[in-house]
Amino acid sequence: MPAESWKDLEQAIGYHFDNPDLLLQALTHRSHAEGAPRPGGELANEQMEFLEDSILCFLVSEALVERYPESREGRLSKLKARLVSAAHLHPVAERLGLGRYLLLGKAEDQRGERASRALLVDTLEALVAALYRDGGMPAVRRFVEQWILDSVDWQQIPTTDYKTELQELLQQRRSPPPRYIVARERGPEHRKTFTIELRIGGECVSQGAGNSKKAAEQAAAQIALSHLRENLIESGNPKDR
């Protein structure tokens, strides 16, 4: 990889590697390392991917706990899984343009693997590990905050999973599980509003609206949960208080 390519990537992430071999390893796929001319070949980025898993999970967990100090462990675990998933990391790798820096074997390059979602995510994960090994936690924390957490629309992430809480409450009461039915869809495709009807045992107990089906389901579940809790309090059953 030419030195100017290193500089381009370093400029993009706002970090200069003291040990450029770490960056080289992060960008080296196994197919290229196995065909390297020097004895022993170049080191591939697979081991770095292993290290990244622990680092990224810790930093994302740290950010979630700071942002949602009152949330339950189960909810935080779901949010963490979402933020470290390939679905979230792939757009980050594309924004960084990691595909053009990736070192591949000739056959893999000709097959278009440079644009592979799996390889781009693997490379991003290896880059996280390389940053940690070169600059420690401060360097990798800045990168994660700037590139992996900056694109999160926190206002679109509910701090409470009302659907799960409703499901648990209904199970405690031995009630039928909730059913979510789309009652209405309004607006153009890019700005559609959904209305969800929530039914329990065939009876409509609430409706919720949102700019996505998931958001509308959460709104309907929140209303149903509130109604059910009010009824439970009035019943005077101490087990359900």
Cβ–Cβ < 8 Å for 17, 10: yes
**Whether this model's pTM surpasses 0.85:** no
User: What pLDDT score was predicted for residue 56?
Assistant: 92
Question: Which domains, ranges and CATH numbers included, belong to the chain?
Answer: 3-153 (1.10.1520.10), 162-240 (3.30.160.20)
Q: Which residues are catalytic?
A: 53, 125
Q: Read off the pLDDT of residues 33-82 as tens digits, 9 standing for 90 and up.
A: 655 544 334 466 666 766 777 899 999 999 999 988 877 787 788 888 88
The CB-side HSE value for 220 (13 A sphere, CA atoms) comes to 27
3-class SS of residue 98: helix
Spatial strand order in the sheet of 203-210: 178-186, 193-200, 203-210
3-class secondary structure, 117: helix
The 10s digit of each residue's pLDDT in 115-166 is 788 889 989 999 999 999 999 999 999 999 999 998 777 766 655 678 888 9
Helix (H, G, I), strand (E, B) or coil at 212: coil
Place of tokens 């045992």: 201
